[in-house]
Amino acid sequence: MKITGLKTLVVNAQMRNWVFVKVETSQPGVFGWGEASLEWKTRAVVGAIEDFEAMLTGENPLNIEHLYQKMYRQSFWALGVIGMSAISAIEQALWDIKGKELGVPVYHLLGGKVRDRVRMYTHLGGGDMKAVYETFSVEPLIALAHDVIDKGYTALKVVFVPYSKTIEGRGKVTQFASMFGQLREAVGPDIDIMVDFHGRTTPAMAIQYINAIEEFHPFFCEEPVRPENIDTIKMVTDHTKVPIATGERHVSIYHFKEIFEKNAVHVIQPDLCHCGGLWAARKIAAMAEVYNMGVAPHNPLGPVANAVALHFALSTPNFLIQEDMLTDVPWRWDVVETEISSEKGFWAVPTRPGLGIEINEKEAKKHPFKQEIMHSNTIRDDDNAILDW
């Protein structure tokens, strides 16, 4: 069996475009699917996938690690998130092919099942970008949280950290703590609440924000500062008592090295559509296991990414909880044929070979590429300076 080609299928899902990759083979009816969705870089990722086609055509698709090494090392230039997203999707599709060829679900090939179900959490507002990133009033915050809980989730994520300058006054800290306190009171003690700081703050402000909500027991605080400087993340970890998480914007096993060496966080969040795929994520998780860190993969993407994340979670001992965005568009499950199901905030174990999904290409093509929704407004300070969103 040889690889005969790579095809991309772009599906517009309002907040983002899903980029599906189909790896075709010389064996009739045998192909695999992966996902390389990357916000606001859709055309670039599709181009990167096309660039890899010549490198892979004629290769045996079952030699997954060999082909990963070929794509990564023969590219010569260090690959950023665009190149790594392309590799990730292709790698996922190779696992899909291998599982189908051997007649087993992919998690069997990753060491087998270590749990019987997978706990999930989701965002407020589903695919409504404004609801996810700009809910700064208590009433809609609580209403959206109850909507998530009514769907059966026992954990949710909020993103109402104020857009911040290097140093802010007491007002924003007080407002943030008040909102979190009222949310905790509204949802009760048994719902886990994660706070995504989205890199909006500096260590000085992140420490103040996190210490102000410590009494309300956040499950973890994510990406409290921009992720480029690991020392600044560690500074936050060292001066707070709430678990700290990061990793969604780190796109290879090498980018995680410093995090582990410095014990910079408590939870890592590799994105399986950006970090190199399933096997790269397993390598990252194995390194995290040595440092007693949990793994909570980043994933606000499409249904193929959901399937990939499920197989990872089922086979990874230090897996913690899985992000999803299953309510982004009402037709999400029309574009895939799958047995994958969820109930009361947990995914069930799939039994079909491979990743357990097939793309309904006819349905998918009903939602062709469109320019993704940009953040409603470029985030600016009151003096018009650009802030992190």
Whole-angstrom Cα distance, residue 242 to residue 213? 9
C-alpha to C-alpha distance for 292 and 363, rounded to whole angstroms:
43
Helix axes 278-290, 64-73, angle to 10 degrees: 90
- Residues tagged active-site: 198, 298
The Cα diameter of the chain in Å comes to 65
| Tokens matching residue 42 | 């859709």
Residue given tokens 């990061």 in the structure block: 246
Question: What's the CA gap between 333 and 340, in Å, rounded?
Answer: 10
